[in-house]
Amino acid sequence: MPFCTQCGNSLGGRDYFCGGCGARQPIPGTPGVYSAGAAQAITPRTASLLCYIPFVGWIAAILVLASTRFRDLRDVRFHAFQGLYLFVAWLLVDWVVHPWFHFLDRPFFPFGKILQLLVLGLWIFMIIKAAREERYSLPLIGELAERSL
């Protein structure tokens, strides 16, 4: 027996409105918020975009790679791998390169900061490319993503 999505009142099989609170009920069998799961509601374009969100896109990339919905979509998986590798590049610059140049004590040439800005710019560039549904392969990182497919 179905129940109201607002108040929990029991409903008949063909009730479109709740008799207790008057709330509209989802129509059984139609796609919508109530029948689709979270992974089913995300379009491939959105999934590709989420993989390039700076600093947290790696979470979306792992979820895309782990989901069965995007298993056969090569472009989305490519963006997920490339987003992961771009995050690894950020970690390498932030944890290895930037401290090393800071150790050299050359404040007049901030090479580490320039590399951090470069990776951030690549994230923004790839968000634009994914929004246009273009598959752009970054040098080195894109080649690794192609091999990972």
Each residue's pLDDT tens digit, 65-118 = 998 888 889 999 999 999 999 999 999 988 888 777 766 666 666 777 888 899
What letter would DSSP give residue 136?
-
Domain count, the chain: 2
Kindly report the length of the chain.
149
Residues 47 and 112 in one domain: yes
Sign of the Cα pseudo-torsion (73, 78, 79, 83, in order): positive
Each residue's pLDDT tens digit, 124-133 = 999 999 999 8
- Residue 64 belongs to domain spanning: 38-148
Q: Are 89 and 119 in contact (CB under 8 A)?
A: yes
Specify which residues 24 forms β-bridges with: 17
**Long-range CB contacts (< 8 A, 24+ apart) of 134-143?**
135/75, 135/78, 135/79, 137/82, 138/82, 138/86, 141/82, 141/85, 141/86, 141/89, 142/82
Each residue's pLDDT tens digit, 88-101 = 999 998 888 877 77
Residues 139 and 94 in one domain: yes
Residues 45 and 118 in one domain: yes
Residues 30 and 70 in one domain: no
Sorting pLDDT into bands at 50, 70 and 90, what band is 34? very low
